[in-house]
Structure 1
Amino acid sequence: MIRKRSITLHGHRTSFSVEDPFLHELKLMAAERGMSFAALIASIDEDRPVGSNLSSALRLFVLQELKKSRAQGSPQAL
């Protein structure tokens, strides 16, 4: 199920909508990096192309990270 979430990035409120499995993976990835969930989202937000959608950027980040993990021999599943 897609859920809309709100977060403060760079001092302003914004929202994104992702499915629960993507949210779960994002939280795990933040914990693995020793950073807060908000810090990871802010990092992804800063790196996304201008005009692109934050929700899509979050999904693509998860996909990219899981592909990297698989390529390194440690498969993970959503």
Structure 2
Amino acid sequence: MSLPDGGLLKRSLVIAGHRTSVSLEAAFWEALRQLASARGLSVQALVGRIDAERGGQNLSSAIRVFVLRAVWPGEGADGSAGA
């Protein structure tokens, strides 16, 4: 997979009934799209799940951590170590 440009892309999403803007690098948007598709979800629905579980963490940061945990060897998307 070739990496897209590293600049931030801002997208508007409706999360829990509220419109919000999220800024992520293109590579994170693409990985998030692929992860959502693999789960049979829209990006908006997956971000909604991430939002519901993020606690006080910044949403963009929570998304980046979710993506890294999902693709990092030995980590699950929920942060649990893989077997």
Question: Under a length normalisation based on structure 1, what TM-score does the superposition of the two structures give?
Answer: 0.82
Q: Does 1:65 pair with 2:70?
A: yes
Say which structure is richer in helix.
Answer: 1
TM-score, normalisation: structure 2 = 0.78
* Alignment coverage as a number of residue pairs: 69
Q: Quick one: percent identity of the two aligned structures?
A: 43
Computed over aligned residues only, the root mean square deviation of the Cα atoms, in angstroms, reads: 1.2
Residue in 1 that maps onto 2:19:
13
Cα offsets for 1:28-77 (capped at 9, x unmatched): 00000011111100000001022x2100111011011111xx238xxxxx
Unaligned runs of 5+ in 2: 1-6, 76-83
Ranked by relative contact order (alpha carbons within 8 Å, sequence separation 6 or more), the top structure is 1
| Residue of structure 2 in register with 1:48 after alignment | 54
